[in-house]
Each structure stands twice: as structure tokens, then as C-alpha cells.
Amino acid sequence: MKQIYRYTLLLVVTTTFMMQSCSKEYFDELSTNPNQVSKPTLAALLATSTSKMGLNSFTVASSIAPYVQYTANPSLNAASDIYETIDFSGMWDALYFAMADVNHLKIAATEAGSSEYMGVANVMLAYNLILVNDLWGDAPFKEAFNPTNFTPKYDTQQAIYASTVSLIDEAIVQLAKTDATVKLAATSDLIYGSSAATERANWLKLAYALKARLLNKVSKTTSYNAANVLAAVSSSFTSNAEDAGMATFLLRNNWATVARNNASLTLGGWLSEQFIDHLNGTSYGILDPRIKKITDPTVTGTYIGTVNGAGNKGPGNNTVKDENYIAISSPWTGDISPLFIVTFAELKFIEAEAAFATDKSRSYNAYLAGIAANMDKLLVPAVEKTAYLAEPTVAVGSAALTKELIFKEKYVATYLNSEAFNDVRRNDYNYTNFTFPVGSVLSNFIRRLDYPLTAERSKNGANVPAAVPRTTKLWWDQ
């Protein structure tokens, strides 16, 4: 692993903020430039860090989308579809670049005595570290930001998880304070930059949302505590208006770029048969009206997905719209759509799962509320939303509610969100008609990524954990 401050220097000097994210001693060669900012402000670091938080949500989600079968490749035996090893060095670096910036923000916030900036820094540090932990397990953290250590040791996956929980708890403590000496600069916050009056409260609710995610993720372990999950949910979002997302781009939403590139024949953004059949009535016997708000009909007016590993049905790879793609017409993937990090709808499904064993009525109401919230977010007409919620296979009543139904609906609500990879693993890929990729190089569904070759194995090989099969489960997935 390259020394993280040097990494960050090379990246940040090219950004639109034109500032540095590392200590002065690491850019002496730039110190003679009178136009170069030598010490970034809290506001500037906030802008950079919130931007990277949003962009990393896309980077990770786009990488795991074929694994959860939201997307598929139109080419036969594409590496991403058949579980071949892929060098995700760029994604690894992006996550550590972001954490380096946030770590610098945290140091600056501590020096300024700003509880608000300290709290937000902890939320963002935790979020990026969670992504690393969910994809790879063991990872450098305690030694990752030591400017004299170029080969940091790895913390265990359990220790990383514990660190993320601690960071969130620290964030909650700081964000609960109302007397910060330096308030958050709303105009520099690309996640919640709407109003200075609500900045702290919004980030506090996001901290609780991430805590609910973290505590619910260990549902297969003996440490799972449903009451603690529900307590976090109750302190988090109360409506779609509080969803966390990043909607400030140099050009447009990254998913919209994928969609536009598809129209330009670069052949990206094809939707998986699994996801389309999940919505079009094939798998569950009911047409989900959200499908019309997620993708455009094919040239025949139907909805057809691409089989993972098998490629486009043909003739040949094409973009004549004989199969479905990510669409710029969707409120989820349009030019100005936010890159969603956590949503109110997702929180309702977490509530439904956590309450399932002890309060079926609460669980059922949360399940229905999650569907309704996601439909509202996708701008599904009220009459279609009402009809779907009244369908007998959806409106099953609290006594007949199952975990399978909760996971089924959450799979739609987390469309193109990295959290879906955690859910399909926790649910053991147990969705109706969820088929194994054609031509898979693995004997079972994928459970983790290989450590990056360029970013880690070639630079920090002595500390990188021994290679394990990509079917090996992380500790919380046993």
C-alpha cells in the first residue's frame, strides 16, 4: 500500500478545489507557488470529502452490480459476470484517498474544536471504511495514516467492523452537541448542503442510519441485537426528504453517464435478467410499476434483461433496445439524480427485518412503508402505488409476512446501491429465480473480492492476507 498522504497529494492537486490534503512537509516542491493553498480550510476539506463520499458510493455500487445481478454485460463470459478475478486497485485507492482527506479534516476539526466537523468527519471515515470492510474484510486502518509507514499492517475484519461502529458512536456524541465553535459550512457540504440550520441534525440522522445498517449486517451472528437496530432506526430518517445523497457533479450523475454511453454504443449499463424478471412479473407473478420508472421498454414494448455470463441474446452485441438498460429517464439515474448513500426506504426495511421476530405488526407496517417510500422516490403514480400495495401477494397481512418478502422488496429499494451486496449475501442469494451466472469460474456465488494486485499485493505484499477463494464468507456472513 503506498503511503496514503502521497497518494492524496497526487490526486487532490488536480481537483477543482485546487487544494492539498496532506501535511506541508510532503509538498515542499509546491511551496514556492504563491497561488497554491498550503493549508486547506475546513469548508474546502468538507467539499472534497463529501464529493468523494458520493463518488465512492457509485464506484463500489457499479463494481458489485453484476454480482447482485442488477446489471449484466452484453458480452459472453465477461469477467464481471462470471466471477473472474478483477484488479480493483482503482476502487481501493479511491476509498483510501477519501479516508486520507477525511482524516485530515478530522485533525483540522479537532484543532479548531468544532464538534460538528469532528462528527461529520467520523461519519465519512466510517462510511468509506465500511465499504472496504464489506468488500475485502481485513484491511489497513490503525496504521494506514501514519506518514512514516509505507507498509501498514492489516487489522482483522472483525476489528475493522468494531472500528466503524466506534467511529459512528463517536460521531453521534459529537453531532448531538449544539455548541460547536465552528459550524458546518452548508454551501460546502455536497451531501446535505441545503440549510445551515439543519446541517448538524441531518448528519446526526445519517450517523444513526449507518449505525442501523452496521448493527443489522451481523444478523447471522450471536452478537445481533434487534433492539439496538430498532433504536438506531428510530433516531434516523423520518421521510424521503432526509435521504442522504450527493447530487453535485462536474457534468452529470455517473449512472446517467453510463446510460448515455450505452446510447453511444459503448455497451455499458445493461440490466440483468434477474432484476428485470424480479419486476416484470416473471419471477413473482406481479408486474411492479417501478419497472417503468427504472428503465425504458424495449423496442417491442416489453421488459427483457440480459443473462449474466451469457451476454446479449443477439444477434450480436447491440443497442437497438431489444433488452433493457439503465435509463436517463429514471428519477434514480437521470442527469441530476443524486447518488444515494442511504435512504428512508432502506431504513424501513431494516426496521421490518429487526422487528420481525418480536413485533410482527411493526415489521409489516415498516415493510409496506418501505415499498411506498421507494415508489414515491421513483415518482410512481399514486394509483399504481395503491394498486401494488393492495395486491394479495404484497398485502399478505402481518401474520403471513416472511423474511423472504422483506428481502424481495428491499432488493428493489436498494437498486444500484452497494448495500445490496451485503443483503444478497445475508440472504444467501435466496431470491426467486436467482440463477447462477452462465460460465462461472466459481462453484458457488461470490462472497468477497480478491485483494488488489497493483494497489496492494505489489506494494504491501508482506502484509496482505493470504489469498482465499472468492466464495469464502466474511465473518458476519457465516
Q: What is the DSSP string of 69-93?
A: TSEE-SSTT-TTTTT-----HHHHH
Q: What confidence score (pLDDT) does residue 1 get?
A: 45
Of residues 186, 22, 10, the one with CA closest to residue 102: 22
Pick from 290-294, 310-314, 470-474: least confident: 310-314
pLDDT band at 8 (very low <50, low <70, confident <90, very high): very low
Q: What confidence score (pLDDT) does residue 197 get?
A: 79
Strands 244-246 and 270-271: unpaired
Does pLDDT of 2 surpass 70?
Answer: no
pLDDT band at 194 (very low <50, low <70, confident <90, very high): confident
Q: What confidence score (pLDDT) does residue 32 get?
A: 47
Question: Phi/psi zone of residue 98: left (φ > 0), alpha (ψ -120 to 50 degrees), beta?
Answer: alpha
May I ask the CATH class of domain 4-26+41-77+84-250+338-477? mainly alpha
**Do 168 and 210 contact (CB within 8 A), yes or no?**
yes
pTM: 0.92
Interatomic CA distance for residues 260 and 416, integer angstroms: 17
Of residues 391, 366, 373, the one with CA closest to residue 287: 391
User: What is the tens place of the pLDDT at every residue in 304-345?
Assistant: 999 999 998 766 556 678 899 999 999 999 999 999 999 999
Interatomic CA distance for residues 407 and 447, integer angstroms: 18
Residue 158 grid cell: 472483525
Range 216-220 contact pairs with CB under 8 angstroms and sequence separation of 24 or more: 216/350, 216/353, 216/354, 217/422, 217/426, 217/476, 218/161, 218/476, 219/353, 219/426, 220/426, 220/476, 220/477, 220/478
Question: Looking at residues 449-467, what average pLDDT do you find?
Answer: 96
Q: What confidence score (pLDDT) does residue 319 get?
A: 65
Interatomic CA distance for residues 391 and 394, integer angstroms: 5
Q: What confidence score (pLDDT) does residue 37 get?
A: 56
Give the bridge partners for 339, in sequence order.
246
